[in-house]
Structure 1
């Protein structure tokens, strides 16, 4: 286990001189320029490109600003000239981690596992795909009632609020939780439930981020609390106003993030959720494979003597062969994502292997 706190301190010290709202607004504005490849150009005062910043680096900067930038009004307000020095601090930390942790070709190859989990998901800007999948799965009759009981709002109202708040955040950064959304069909109770789900106080966010912080090879891969609570209230005298440094996290929260709301609820939703996802996969297959020569077959039960067994979830067939599809909704644990050769990763891969061979 390595320790890079010595390389981390310059970033911490630089952020301590800056006022937090200005840093987060700087992150928000630059994040709005990120393209489909996951990066944005950095310009000088005359508009000439002098560098690039990656989406995940902006996520790290927002996380570290929440930990170290201050709320005192006398602190200096960050401007665009601060972006390159701050991003360079982040890069020096990650470069030093590579120097200290990667000592062989095998170790370098294993490090690709953690890099993939850190970077690949932010290179897919297709929010509509995620929103449709969430609408199809969580809107299913199999899980709809359970979903509304856990989240406290209907799925259409939650998605409406997500679009409204993400739009406000992208334009000005600040979202008003006391606004009236009845004009778009959202009740006050649903509004309040939504903001309770996506919003956090400054102290709550800092405490959660501090608890997860580490200064070893997992520094840049630790879970960012802003994914759970993308809206943060920075002002004690304005408890209904929230700043959103990364608007894309609002839409991620009501798509990818919903899985964890249900998982942590303690409700027995697993089987219903799995069946809803299986139905969604069937919908996709029937749309894609619709030629007369192609056939999509749903799961059928069968018996081996007296034992009842379930068949493969979906089978797609044509004259050339058969494609057997088994639907699984398991998620890889965070500790398996951020460590390239740990027992947690081995356990996760073994679990996946068991699922793959269950029909042999």
Structure 2
């Protein structure tokens, strides 16, 4: 049943939890998860046939609903366990009952989760153990809190529509990025209205053919029986029980008999945006195409945002006999020069889920150390006047930035940042770089999600002032009243919303 070494202590904690679940009807239990999911995601009412937890108000602030109800990361874990342990033949017992659901959730939290956390892992100090566990928790919980927004949708749409990457996607999925997005977003919202929808599902849109719908289901759905099998194979009966891979991230639509269900709507949203990466990462030419697409997207963000005449934008250039490259983008004003290196590298599953950092995190942090050193190396070429367009200006403050497409959640974790800094020092030693550069010009790591907002502030206050606010911890206060603007709002409307309104027949 399990794909990793079983910890018998953890298995003994899990067994009573499993036995509680075995009494439940599978589809009826999935229905309860679906009801909470649609309330948390779309603010839709929870039907009256479900008893609400004490203190839970369905139209309350989302943080209060998470506190009194079942937060999304617990919904996901419970959904996995329902699929593994429940069936539809032997029981009609339901977790629509408040006391029964509360008993299961409390056991999961207080006995199972807290029990696992008390089981020591050889070779890790207590403080290190906690900070690595916090890193795992961040990746398990924070994405749910972001929910969905236009920025995420259009960011990935623009990246996937890059010509090279678009060809790869069409070859892999037999659908264009636009078809994947338009069908995905239609089902994302439509499945929140009805728990079980009939198959075959027929389209009411001129722009969505039934043939393309069939292809979409082939790529993004799984039967409940197959889901049960894959979940059993991926489950780890050890300290990774709550973090083991969930195949519903790849196939978030469940097929049961002649119907389909989308039990957790954000899983579908994630799969058709950032999740497509995992389906095409091994395709020929993917790495270069993906990197180029992200670099081009950041350029589009820069040109659409910056209207400050004091800030110059410089794209990547080739230089030197060995054909070196400048950083992907350079911003320049009267006080500072910002080197931006765009990286699509993601933390691996092991980095996000393993308590033992040797099983993933170490390798990924070493990669990041190489990215950081790369920016300093090309800065030295700039300082030696090797750049074809820009001449070195000693009056400008150099600011190195590594910009990641995905959020790594490492900036606020002192344990992980210490490990990373040690690897960066080692990389400097290997490359024979002056380590004083690190103290004189501290590096920065930002996610694309943050940068899309950051660049609006930079456009307003200038490069140097922005990074001074980061250093002095005053940026958050400044951001509270900043009038952010979504630059692609009108383009999004023209691309998705207007065509749907014009072609919908129902």
Q: What's the TM-score, normalizing by structure 1?
A: 0.90
* Residue 269 of structure 1, CA deviation: 1.9
How much does 1:253 deviate?
A: 1.0
Q: 1:139-196 CA distances to partner (integer Å, 9 max, x unpaired)?
A: 1223222211111112222112112212232112223442222624122331111101
Q: Matches of 1:164 and 1:313 in 2, distance apart?
A: 36
Instruction: Tell me the C-alpha RMSD between the 2 structures.
Output: 2.3
Unaligned runs of 5+ in 2: 57-67, 378-506
1:25 corresponding residue in structure 2: 31
The structure 1 residue matched to 2:343, chosen from 328, 333, 342, is 328
Contact 1:26-1:80 within 8 A present in 2 as well: no
TM-score normalised according to structure 2 size: 0.65
1:277 aligns with 2:294: yes
Alignment partner of 1:224 is 2:246: yes
Q: Does 1:105 align with 2:100?
A: no
| Cα deviations by residue, 1:106-150 (Å, 9 ceiling, x for unpaired) | 322222111111111111113322210121011122322221111
**Would you say 1:301 and 2:323 are equivalent positions?**
no
**Map 1:51-66 → 2, pairs under 5 A:** 51-66=68-83
| SS of structure 2 residue aligned to 1:327 | strand
Q: How far does the alpha carbon of each residue in 1:68-105 deviate from its partner, in whole angstroms, 9 at most, with x for none?
A: 11121643233142322221122121111112237722
Q: Does 1:205 align with 2:227?
A: yes
Deviation at 1:202, TM superposition (A): 1.8
Tell me the SS of whatever aligns to 1:275.
helix
CA distance in 1, matches of 2:171, 2:41: 37
Q: Distance in 1 between matches of 2:113 and 2:306?
A: 45
User: Using CA pairs below 8 Å that are at least 6 residues apart, which structure has the higher relative contact order?
Assistant: 1
- Give 3-state SS (helix, strand or coil) of 1:245's partner: coil
| More divergent stretch after superposition (273-282 vs 83-92) | 83-92
The answer to whether residue 274 in structure 2 is matched with residue 256 in structure 1 is yes
1:355 paired residue among 371, 379, 384 = 371
| Distance in 2 separating the partners of 1:61 and 1:33 | 17
Contact 2:316 2:326 in 1 (8 A): yes
Contact 1:175 1:244 in 2 (8 A): no
**Paired residues of 1:199 and 1:230 also in contact (CA < 8 A):** yes
Residue of structure 1 aligned with 2:263, choices 245, 256, 262: 245
Residues 239, 355 of structure 2: 8 Å contact kept = no
Aligned residue-pair number: 348
- Pairing 1:319–2:334 present: yes
Counterpart among 4, 14, 29 of residue 8 in structure 1: 14
Partner residue in 2 for 1:345 = 361
Label 1:290 to 1:15 Cα distance change in 2 as closer, same or farther (>3 A): same
Q: 1:261: Cα distance to partner?
A: 1.1
Query: What is the rounded CA distance, in whole Å, between the counterparts of 2:107 and 2:256 in structure 1?
Result: 25
Alpha-carbon distance, 1:346 to partner: 0.8
SS of structure 2 residue aligned to 1:297: strand
**Counterpart pick for 2:94 among 60, 63, 77:** 77
